[in-house]
Structure 1
């Protein structure tokens, strides 16, 4: 039985792509004759003896990174493969260093540009991800970039969830033959409730559009609030639900109040999956005005639930949405295009039904079974490779 150490920055009950992905692998891979262990940052309650190992988030950054490194070294001794499913510095770079020392096979899953995300959140970067790739920045971002490039260039294999990200990673110096695309597994929460039942439960009515995601600048939630203000005269009962939390929460609350939209815009915060599913069921359409997506779980989940979707022509979105076939694509932060698309859907039940039906069909391609099968096939292919001694 092959042993795999999965390293990640987050694990359930924490919410996020690496948490979801690592928990799926922990549950599914033992059925394919793999012995799995997981190392994560978190709290001691997440630990499970012999299965899930935790480095406390309470320690200062430098100390917890050192402890994480030492634990990868210790746990990785008996592993055949170290699989890092988190592209953050604290998981991917540290896991690679340990793998190099242990001379272990190392596979990393890259779901975005960590240097860009940190640049936007901490170092004043205003550019979207594509433009960020073409520009130079200060020393801190340069260090993050070098670490990120080092990880993808020294990994034995890089897994990524979209062709868009594959092309981005190629520009970081990784070899084309070492990058494999495996789409995310997305499954809509099963909810045995009709739209009207969901609305009664939530005390909602009118024409409802919903958006969800981390409340960060590049998700474009602010413009959606402005659009509601502009469309109120044409669609008096229009409502916007925004699910999620993040650094922009306070600004979005303020914008809602400044525009007197307290009865039209609901910021419901980060919700457990089953609660979010009720809000999704209550909605007529799903709108994602985002400046960047590697491959959006939330978009595919909305499609799986049969919601007509409007989203932007960026990143991996174009690998999910075929314009006018199973959704509508617009330019990021283009107010006119978004307004026109929203009006079209609210004014045409025929169009809504057509897009919703095709959306379900497309979402079915992003199943857990397909993701696990592709991952196992890849691991089987690479597990017998002899690692060449690294200089």
Structure 2
């Protein structure tokens, strides 16, 4: 098949869509990607990129990069970033003459990033498959605290229109079903395509145990890997870390970057938590196994919002595939996965007291029990989220 993937974010930005595109090529498909110039999550262009149109080839994938405004560090610039991809991507779709068998568009936030795919579909009468990673308008209403019923209604109508343009709506979480059905999507259009972990998490040859040993503190390490943002509820993480500071052996290790990093750095100093919370910075996904190997338990958190109870954070699959136990502070589907897999401890979202108690419980647990939790998680991952199973299912949907 000749497949066009439309996504605002792509390599070298670190998203699962990179892995999907590579695997589709390995399976003999021709894959083209329409995307922007990389600037996530720092908000500035990666080295070698800027305000220009660019064509690249990456592992057999042809990439068309349209000029966009980088995310920056404030809400106005972020809105311009979103709009710039819609406009530049749609113009590309209008003038791009190559025909494809399928369009696969990824619904990260914002959902407006799907418009270039819709424009291409209408021009070339090609089947469109939307992969819903972020549920709209629920997620933007929660994140932006939108209380206006009029704005909520306008956003809902926009989402309904976008879904109506798609041949299939594929969901990363079964918790999304009721929402998309309320917006006019039929049972026959819905498919379940969860996220998976990159192969590197299951391959021990990717571990360089001594590579980052000097930046990792000694002690019982609670490790968070990913975006330092609002959704991850770092306010509660900091409060939980305060509650464990009387046990000096417990160290909270944060691997990543994001819009709240500056705030987090100031909070660590203000509260005197320099010997409790350690920020080691952002590293490529390829380096994560060499960090994970030093963790005693991995940390997974989401804010106490209804929308987040419906989603499975992609780091769940990464943690499980690597075989590490998990401490969770989240509600809903993500919490259920940890509980069903018997791979860690989980408490309610927005409850730093429960998080601290679970961390202390894990700290006092026999190391063999922690290891068994990690094995349970790996077993659950292999049965439910492995890349081979998920992509086989996606190919099957394409061929229907």
TM-score (norm 1): 0.83
CA change 1:337–1:324 in 2 (3 A) is farther
Match of 1:222?
235
Task: Say whether residues 1:158 and 2:169 are aligned partners.
Answer: yes
Gaps (5+ residues) in structure 2?
38-48, 71-79
**1:29-73, Cα deviation, whole Å (9 max, x unpaired):** 245553322111114566239822110124965565333113223
Task: Say whether residues 1:73 and 2:94 are aligned partners.
Answer: yes
Task: Say whether residues 1:186 and 2:197 are aligned partners.
Answer: yes
Gaps (5+ residues) in structure 1?
126-134, 382-391
**1:225-259, Cα deviation, whole Å (9 max, x unpaired):** 222222222x2221101222222222211221111
Segments of 4+ moved more than 6 angstroms: 193-196
Match of 2:349?
332
Task: Say whether residues 1:91 and 2:102 are aligned partners.
Answer: no
Q: Is the 8 A contact 2:4 2:32 kept in 1?
A: yes
Task: Say whether residues 1:47 and 2:59 are aligned partners.
Answer: no
Task: Say whether residues 1:308 and 2:325 are aligned partners.
Answer: yes
Residue 195 of structure 1 and its aligned partner are, at CA, apart by 10
Q: Secondary structure at the match of 1:6?
A: strand
Task: Say whether residues 1:278 and 2:304 are aligned partners.
Answer: no
Q: Is the 8 A contact 1:7 1:84 kept in 2?
A: yes
Task: Say whether residues 1:237 and 2:239 are aligned partners.
Answer: no
Q: Is the 8 A contact 2:229 2:259 kept in 1?
A: yes
**For residues 195 and 96 of structure 1, what CA distance do their matches in structure 2 show?**
44
Q: Report the count of equivalent residues.
A: 364
Residue 320 of structure 1 and its aligned partner are, at CA, apart by 2.7
Q: Is the 8 A contact 2:221 2:252 kept in 1?
A: yes
Residue 79 of structure 1 and its aligned partner are, at CA, apart by 1.8
CA change 1:336–1:160 in 2 (3 A) is same
Q: Secondary structure at the match of 1:282?
A: coil
Match of 1:297?
314
**For residues 331 and 46 of structure 1, what CA distance do their matches in structure 2 show?**
46
RMSD: 2.8
Task: Say whether residues 1:348 and 2:361 are aligned partners.
Answer: no
**For residues 104 and 209 of structure 2, what CA distance do their matches in structure 1 show?**
44
Task: Say whether residues 1:108 and 2:124 are aligned partners.
Answer: no
